[in-house]
């Protein structure tokens, strides 16, 4: 072709994710605001800046007690990034609709995130039949790390894990209730509980609500997923605080309404890129339609 091949360092930063991070920090004036706009954590943004500087072998940003600001080299990179991203968008508008097949990597929180997934996938298939969805089911903390590292395009998170990123799109909450075996006799003594492992916000909220109401309790089952909690409730071993949608379909279970304090709803959120392509946008719209 007659053109000089760029160095490996330049090739490494000529990626949309790196350019977007650098430009967002320059335009928004802080790592925190850039992180919120890109649905990333501030630490992930800071690491990306350090990686870019290391790859280019020069300082682009000045770190002070008040934050991060670009130097002359950083402003020059931002100018290139602005032009680069505009060109990427232009190419996408021109050719993306002609892609024979596209792939979207979707992460879904275990248990509650899976409840409305069939409807979401059906809507995505109807709206974009040429898009292939690759599904990853994991805990919200794992999905968030994968999304921040660029290994997922979209992620449906629940508030049973870490706090949602500032840029996450809230979905319809799922009501939660105390579930027990339908024919179980009222427990004698402290309320037997089947809960998630320590560190789970659902567990912490349930125990705090019981303690605040002066209801004695004891943990008889600890499970990293809802499957173990459901099993303990189904055999009459314990009461499980769970999203109602997770317990749906288990005829032997019933919510203990009026017997225990109400539980707050489980929150869900969608993490998506700031500027999604056609395929990612189609799946994201299907998720929002199915999850509300």
> Residue 175: its pLDDT value, please?
92
Q: What is the mean pLDDT of residues 4-21?
A: 61
Architecture per CATH, domain 100-172+268-291, reads as 3-Layer(aba) Sandwich (3.40)
Mention the CATH class of domain 8-96: mainly alpha
> Residue 14: its pLDDT value, please?
59
* pTM (whole model) above 0.75: no
Does the pLDDT at position 193 exceed 70? Answer: yes
> Residue 101: its pLDDT value, please?
52
Strands 268-271 and 217-222: unpaired
Q: What is the mean pLDDT of residues 2-24?
A: 63
Mention the CATH class of domain 176-255: alpha beta
> Residue 2: its pLDDT value, please?
42
Please write the tens of the pLDDT for every residue from 142-189.
898 888 888 899 999 988 777 888 888 999 999 999 999 998 877 778
Please write the tens of the pLDDT for every residue from 244-279.
888 888 889 999 888 899 999 989 999 998 778 888
Does the pLDDT at position 6 exceed 70? Answer: no
Please write the tens of the pLDDT for every residue from 121-155.
999 888 888 888 999 998 888 898 888 888 899 99
Tell me how far apart the alpha carbons of residues 141 and 155 are, in angstroms, rounded to a whole number.
11
> Residue 192: its pLDDT value, please?
95
Does the pLDDT at position 22 exceed 70? Answer: yes
Q: Any residues with CB less than 8 A from the CB of 57 and at least 6 apart, and which?
A: 9
Domains 100-172+268-291 and 176-255 share a fold: yes
Please write the tens of the pLDDT for every residue from 51-110.
888 888 889 999 887 788 899 998 998 898 888 888 877 776 666 554 445 889 999 987
Domain ranges of the chain: 8-96, 100-172+268-291, 176-255
Does the pLDDT at position 115 exceed 50? Answer: yes
| Helices 16-28 and 31-38, packing angle to 10 deg | 130
> Residue 276: its pLDDT value, please?
81
Does the pLDDT at position 7 exceed 80? Answer: no
Q: Which residue has better confidence, 195 or 4? A: 195
pLDDT band at 1 (very low <50, low <70, confident <90, very high): very low
> Residue 8: its pLDDT value, please?
52
Report residue 81 as tokens: 């990034």
Q: Which residue has better confidence, 224 or 180? A: 180
Percentage, residues of the chain above pLDDT 70? 91
């Amino acid at each position: 072709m007659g053109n000089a091949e760029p160095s490996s360092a330049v090739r490494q930063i000529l990626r949309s994710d790196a350019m977007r991070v650098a430009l967002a920090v320059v335009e928004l004036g802080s790592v925190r605001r850039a992180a919120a706009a890109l649905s990333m954590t501030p630490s992930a943004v800071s690491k990306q800046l350090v990686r870019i500087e290391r790859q280019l072998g020069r300082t682009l940003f000045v770190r002070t007690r008040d934050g991060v600001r670009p130097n002359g080299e950083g402003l020059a990179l931002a100018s290139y990034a602005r032009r680069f991203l505009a060109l990427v968008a232009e190419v996408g508008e021109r050719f993306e609709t002609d892609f024979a097949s596209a792939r979207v990597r979707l992460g879904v929180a275990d248990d509650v995130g899976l409840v409305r997934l069939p409807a979401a996938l059906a809507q995505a298939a109807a709206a974009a039949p040429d898009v292939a969805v690759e599904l990853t089911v994991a805990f919200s903390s794992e999905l968030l790390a994968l999304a921040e590292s660029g290994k997922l395009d979209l992620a449906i998170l629940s508030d049973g894990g870490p706090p949602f990123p500032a840029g996450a799109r809230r979905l319809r909450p799922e009501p939660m209730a105390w579930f027990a075996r339908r024919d179980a006799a009222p427990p004698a003594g402290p309320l037997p509980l089947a809960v998630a492992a320590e560190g789970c916000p659902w567990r912490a909220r349930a125990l705090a609500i019981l303690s605040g109401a002066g209801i004695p309790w004891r943990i008889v089952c600890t499970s990293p997923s809802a499957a173990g909690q459901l099993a303990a409730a189904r055999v009459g071993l314990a009461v499980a605080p769970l999203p109602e949608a997770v317990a749906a379909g288990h005829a032997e279970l019933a919510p203990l309404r009026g017997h225990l304090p109400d539980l707050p709803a489980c929150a869900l959120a969608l993490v998506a890129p700031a500027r999604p392509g056609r395929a990612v946008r189609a799946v994201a719209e299907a998720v929002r339609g199915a999850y509300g």
